[in-house]
Amino acid sequence: MSEPSHPYQVLDVFTDTPLAGNPLAVFTAGELIPSRLMQALARELNLSETVFLLPGDTEADATVRIFTPRAELPFAGHPVLGAAFVVGAERQLGRVRLRTGAGIVPVALTREHGAVVSGEMEQPLPSVRAFERAGELLAALGLAGAALPIEAYTNGPTHVMVALPEDVRLGMLEPDLAAIAKLGALGIDCFTRPEPGAGTPAGVPAYVRCRVFCPGLGVPEDPATGSAAGPLAWHLVRHGWRAPGTGVTIVQGVELGRPSELVARLEGSAARPERIVVGGRAVVVAAGSFRAA
């Protein structure tokens, strides 16, 4: 008897250029894959995340399970966006609702010439707290301090926001990844002050550069982190670096040779956020099948 064959697609997310952005594998018939194999397949592919699409229900078009090479996540941004591209393209939907471990996430899709080219997701509103091990984190990053309070946001995964001092260049960071991993299963989002610049998309008046380190999740550095983009937008508003309702383009992955662009905005107020929205583009770059028992 032959081994089962499990089809999947590979997308580059938060880019419209193949081999840029953040790669993602989407297994399109996840209900046929035993749970015991999902983590092993994610480890085998060794991408930042791998998604398994499962049947939906009366509230959601599909259910997603999301794995890093090391752990399952209740929510992550680029897997949800990429999965929505796949579901929307297969079913000719303009709006996709995905059930995640953090609740249902709606994704509005945009088409050009009939093809899905971009999407915008409404993310779960995160909780926020002061990060209690800020001193250890700064030492691991090789920084003497940060330009804003160091705070942790949880919207499924937990991301810690570190605003770089103006005299520190993002590309010069050489973090101690082993020390960061000891802080737990966290994403460490190091970013610059928002500024206007050439190449910023129309209607988005500012951009930030960032790098996100996730060694505790099995990802030393992530080229595009959708789950961190929403919390970063709120962090900028909470500390007066952006106004509510104004978008920010987040440029990430440059140091990895995989440049990515994420657009995020917070609606409501700093104290009472109503919606956090994150969007971007994606492109399918490969398809195949895995033979696994």
Q: What is the DSSP string of 163-210?
A: EPPTTS-GGG----HHHHHTT-SEEEEEEPPPB--TTPPTT---EEEE
> In this predicted structure, what is the pLDDT of residue 247?
85
**Residue 84 shares a structural domain with residue 207:** no
**Residue 88 shares a structural domain with residue 217:** no
Q: Give the C-alpha distances (Å, rounded to integers) separating 4 from 81, 94, 236, 270, 293.
A: 27, 32, 48, 50, 6
**Residue 275 shares a structural domain with residue 137:** yes
CATH of the domain at 82: 3.10.310.10
> In this predicted structure, what is the pLDDT of residue 230?
96
Cα 232 from chain centroid (whole Å) = 11
**Residue 133 shares a structural domain with residue 98:** no
Residue 70: which domain range?
5-121+281-291
Catalytic residue (choose from 49, 120, 221, 261): 49
Closest CA to 195 of 178, 183, 207: 207
> In this predicted structure, what is the pLDDT of residue 199?
47
**Residue 147 shares a structural domain with residue 41:** no
The CA distance from 53 to 29, in Å, is 6
**Residue 146 shares a structural domain with residue 269:** yes
> In this predicted structure, what is the pLDDT of residue 292?
75
> In this predicted structure, what is the pLDDT of residue 2?
59
**Residue 164 shares a structural domain with residue 221:** yes
> In this predicted structure, what is the pLDDT of residue 207?
87
Q: Count CB-CB contacts under 10 A for residue 275.
A: 13
**Residue 273 shares a structural domain with residue 151:** yes
Closest CA to 77 of 45, 110, 57, 100: 100
**Residue 263 shares a structural domain with residue 158:** yes
The CA distance from 217 to 203, in Å, is 34
**Residue 135 shares a structural domain with residue 113:** no
**Residue 99 shares a structural domain with residue 15:** yes
Q: What is the model's pTM?
A: 0.91
Examine the residue annotation and report whether 49 is marked as an active-site residue of this protein: yes
pLDDT tens for the chain, 293 residues long, are: 456 789 999 999 999 999 999 999 999 999 999 999 999 999 999 999 999 999 999 999 999 999 999 899 999 999 999 999 999 999 999 999 999 999 999 999 999 988 899 999 999 999 999 999 999 999 999 999 999 999 999 998 999 999 999 999 999 999 999 999 999 999 999 999 988 754 444 555 588 999 999 999 889 999 999 999 999 999 999 999 999 998 899 999 999 999 999 999 999 999 999 999 999 999 999 999 998 76
The separation between the first and the last C-alpha atoms of the chain, rounded to the nearest angstrom, is: 11
- Phi-psi domain of 165 (left: phi exceeds 0; alpha: psi -120 through 50; beta: other): beta
**Residue 137 shares a structural domain with residue 220:** yes
The number of folded domains in the chain is: 2
